[in-house]
Amino acid sequence: MISFDSNIAPGNDSFGLLGKSADELRDFIVSLGEPPYRAAQIYHALYAERLRTIDEISNLSLELRRRLGTVANLSLPEIARRHHSSDGTVRYVLGLTSAGRMDAATIETVFMPEEKRQTVCISTQAGCAVNCQFCLTATLGLVRNLSAAEIIGQVIVALEDNRAALKPQTNVVLMGQGEPLLNYDAVMTAVRILLDPKGLAISPKHVTLSTSGIIPGIEKLAREPVRPKLAISLNASNDEQRNAIMPINRKYPLKDLLDACRNYPLRPWEHLTFEYVLLGGYNDHPEDARQVAKLIANLRAKINLIPWNPGELPYHPPNAARVEAFRKILADKGYLVFVRYSRGQDVMAACGQLALLESSRIVPPQTLSSASR
């Protein structure tokens, strides 16, 4: 935990500044008898400047910083391990040891540098209960939901750890461990801060939330005034096939899911993204592509085809000819189709690989601290 003064340890009930909205910070600051504009200064320091300790918020008086150090904390996820890929991707194993929390856990966050931008892939839960059969995270089960602080903290940690090489544009994808729409409130609190021009100030065009198809969550997201782009993890061309690899489909079958997609209010610049992991010999037949085209007919859709990453699970990568044939069938129907070869495969950072055994451990805080960096 990072605090203002190592000699003044905040108590377990100290107020966590990170992950708080402008309104929550204002209520807290006013409760201390301070003027509300102090909260705006803290909000700016946390998210626009990405300062990592209370001590660094130098436009607060020394006295206020000292006081905050005793009643509040600025606790970021700790980097337990970094795994560097040959393609520049960094997979972080982060320890979550927020002040006062007994349920410490580890999660994974991936930083992917490109020529003109960087993409940060963040987790929204430790583990996941959705049990998609092609996903290593599913083997962990759900450890727990992440807080808004733990979600936004991943972006701050990844950006600050790469500060010297940052490009002007940052993309954030909520595609790491967990089903974002099953941790709705914390996810949306974090997303609002990400998208707030006074917060992390990332464009809604550059933040994408991916769901396995939780229909009530999609309907709720549709009513949000501020929201990220939406991606649906489709991965099958019919219910029988999808039931077998995504058991959530039994609860929210394809027809209902696609109805929810048709009712989803896209902004003028927006496409709905469908992700489709191509499992060799399973869902990569030309007939599957034709069925997918029918499923998403009349939707303003973009399709990302993700050839399966070889791993510990009993599936096979598709061959290149099958991938191209699948792409062409959809492209000929007029859809935007991209083949996304996952990055960071050599450090298990690729799609569906975010689950080392270390992620499943409930790690006591003192163990994490000693393993840190």
CA 138 – CA 144 distance, rounded (Å) = 13
Q: How far is the CB of 178 from ligand SF4 (least distance, A)?
A: 6
Assigned token pair, 329: 């069938």
Phi first, then psi, for residue 306 (nearest 5°) are -120, 100
Is 23 strand, coil or helix?
Answer: helix
Q: How far is the CB of 342 from ligand SF4 (least distance, A)?
A: 13
CA 242 – CA 247 distance, rounded (Å) = 7
Among 121, 128, 135, 351, the active-site one is: 351
Residues linked to residue 113 through DSSP beta bridges, in sequence order = 118
Q: Is the CB of 46 or the CB of 135 nearer to ligand SF4?
A: 135
Phi first, then psi, for residue 82 (nearest 5°) are -120, 135
Residues binding ligand SF4 (CB under 6 A): 128, 130-132, 135, 137-138, 177-179, 212, 233
Q: How far is the CB of 229 from ligand SF4 (least distance, A)?
A: 17
Q: Is the CB of 137 or the CB of 208 nearer to ligand SF4?
A: 137
Among 108, 150, 179, 275, the active-site one is: 108
CA 216 – CA 221 distance, rounded (Å) = 9
Q: Is the CB of 70 or the CB of 360 nearer to ligand SF4?
A: 360
Tell me whether residue 121 is one of the annotated catalytic residues: no
- Residue type (1 letter), 205: K
Cβ(176)–Cβ(125) below 8 Å:
no
Q: How far is the CB of 208 from ligand SF4 (least distance, A)?
A: 13
Cβ(326)–Cβ(278) below 8 Å:
yes
- Cα four-point dihedral sign 85, 112, 1, 180: negative
Q: Is the CB of 132 or the CB of 301 nearer to ligand SF4?
A: 132
Residues 6+ apart with CB under 8 A from 141: 127, 128, 129, 360
Cβ(152)–Cβ(193) below 8 Å:
yes
Q: How far is the CB of 233 from ligand SF4 (least distance, A)?
A: 6
Q: How far is the CB of 134 from ligand SF4 (least distance, A)?
A: 7
Q: Is the CB of 9 or the CB of 313 nearer to ligand SF4?
A: 313
Q: Is the CB of 130 or the CB of 156 nearer to ligand SF4?
A: 130
**Alpha-carbon distances of 232 from 175, 180, 215, 260, rounded to whole Å:** 11, 12, 11, 11
Tell me whether residue 351 is one of the annotated catalytic residues: yes
What are the residue numbers of the active site? 108, 351
